[in-house]
Structure 1
Amino acid sequence: MATDLPEILGESLGTEFVTVYVGPKRKGFILHKNLICTKADYFSKAFRGGFLESNGMMDLPDETTATFALFVEWLYKSNLSEAHTRDHFIALINVYIFSEKICLNDFGNRVIDRIREIMDNIDKRMTPALACYIYSKTSDSSPLRKLCVHSLAYALWEGTKRHIPNKEDLYTLSRYFGNHEELFVDFFNYIGYCSAVESMANPHLCPLGLEPVRVCGFHRHNVQKGEKCHLDQEEDPFASVWEIDDLEVFDDVDPDSMDD
């Protein structure tokens, strides 16, 4: 670390470091302990509790370096990069799933906002295969599942102006939904509702500037803990500490070939 960082940053970040080893190849990320513990209770309990990780090291073998690199980017910069590529889109999907694992709602809300922006701006839409992958990695209360269903339903309506799939659509969907009962039920429950009210909302619109209900339509806020939408919060005290230039380059990913 440079010795000429402002004193206030040193106080905020602290001088202790922890190392998180990510993926089967155990790529190491050296991070400020105070920062990661302040941002996420999951890491605070691990590094400051009586667990094995209290020695300052943690393994996340099931995560990818691209996923964790996005988390580190947010950790230090309080924002997410705006790369408009399919690889980045898939990385955002995976980092949202990671946010649910570590119970970090604010981070997850920011990620899902960025997912919606990408889906709208560059037509990186949900596919049945990607939806099946997401359902295999999330719980039934996940807002990402809700976005999956709304996106698939909107894609059907946008292309055909039909709320209900025809025979050809059903054959296509059945190939993917066959082993995913929850996705099957959620999808047809939603399109049934849309058919009844004769309305189909575009879930991909950027939430910024929209009415409050739509802003938080795919957010998760713990009211009991006093969590508020990040769009209403003041600037994060850790924001933009420095630029991160060495984040892992995203590997090529074929979303339609993801294993469950």
Structure 2
Amino acid sequence: MATILVGSAQEKFIVHQELLCSKSEYFAKALTGTFEESQTGIVKLEDVSPFLFRIFVTWLYSGKLAYTVVDDSSNIDQDFGSLDGGFNPAIIKASDLNCEDVMTWPEQAFVALYILADRLDVKALRSTTIDILIEFFQEKRNSAMSAGTYRYINSNTTAASPLRKLVLDRLIYGVRYSSEDLAFWKALPHDMVVTVLIELARRIPSELCSSCHSKKPSYNSIALDDDHSCKDKDTAPYKADPCFYHEHADEEEKKACRARRNPVTFG
């Protein structure tokens, strides 16, 4: 067994080491390498939220994301309201939250879980949170996360991060543009705004045919990758194929992932 001490109060989690290391490269290196933790079996994560880590442990054993009530002191609205990342806890109502229904959770919960999964190097959890965020975006077609959340993502991910790519695609394809939103755009990180502008230049206007569109990027010296979602048609990548944001090892793994989502098509 491995002992994980989480948060400033060092809340103790006892987890099966083999299971933990099979899912997390971070823990595999810490507990089976040459570090002190491999001798003591104890890992300290003082700057990690115990609330988020509890969700991670539940997922580790069940394969599902769920909020676990530990004791009478557990408070779901306060826990979600404590999330980092430009989130406004005032909009959270306990009556709107369901411990086991992730679609009632705030989007920022999955942003925070993704960043935790990134730190602990848990690829499967990253994919799970990506898929849930995509489902959120499909349901809330014209809503955007707060500018503070975008800044949080920008500060805690790299340019190559699937999460950053997803939320940028959300801005590009899923948000309406209005002069009333100027304050929101001014509050976004500069490099994110630049990325949105460049990607908008690649989109196919509805009045143009594909052959006309293909001339526009080259005229503007914009090179499209062979697998770019705008290569042949104007569609949000997260609507076309969530695997754009997954980290599959090879084509077989990607094919299996698609088959799980669409058993009739791929079966």
- Give the TM-score taking structure 1 as reference length: 0.65
SS of structure 2 residue aligned to 1:80:
coil
Match of 2:184 among 157, 172, 175: 172
Partner of 1:141: 160
Alignment deviations for residues 34-58 of structure 1 (CA, whole Å, 9 cap, x no partner): 1101222221111111212111111
> Is the CA contact 1:149–1:190 (under 8 Å) kept in the aligned structure 2?
no
SS of structure 2 residue aligned to 1:216:
helix
Partner of 2:59: 74
Partner of 1:19: 3
SS of structure 2 residue aligned to 1:58:
strand
The amino acid across from 1:194 in the alignment is: R
The answer to whether 1:34 aligns with 2:68 is: no
Percent of paired sites with the same residue: 29
Q: 1:85 to 1:125 in 2, by over 3 A?
A: farther
Partner of 2:126: 108
> Is the CA contact 2:23–2:124 (under 8 Å) kept in the aligned structure 1?
no
Q: How many Å separate the matches in 1 of 2:137 and 2:51?
A: 19
What is the Cα deviation at residue 142 of structure 1? 0.4
The answer to whether 1:220 aligns with 2:247 is: yes
Alignment deviations for residues 66-90 of structure 1 (CA, whole Å, 9 cap, x no partner): 2212221221012224322344x32
Moved more, 75-84 or 44-53: 75-84
The answer to whether 1:193 aligns with 2:202 is: yes
> Is the CA contact 1:22–1:60 (under 8 Å) kept in the aligned structure 2?
yes
> Is the CA contact 2:238–2:244 (under 8 Å) kept in the aligned structure 1?
no
Bigger RCO of structures 1 and 2 (CA < 8 A, at least 6 apart): 1
Q: How many Å separate the matches in 1 of 2:62 and 2:256?
A: 15
> Is the CA contact 1:126–1:152 (under 8 Å) kept in the aligned structure 2?
no
What is the Cα deviation at residue 102 of structure 1? 2.5
Q: How many Å separate the matches in 1 of 2:58 and 2:259?
A: 19
The amino acid across from 1:94 in the alignment is: A
Cα RMSD (Å) of the superposition? 3.0
The answer to whether 1:231 aligns with 2:247 is: no
> Is the CA contact 2:4–2:45 (under 8 Å) kept in the aligned structure 1?
yes
Partner of 1:131: 150
Point out 4+ residue stretches in structure 1 off by more than 6 angstroms: none
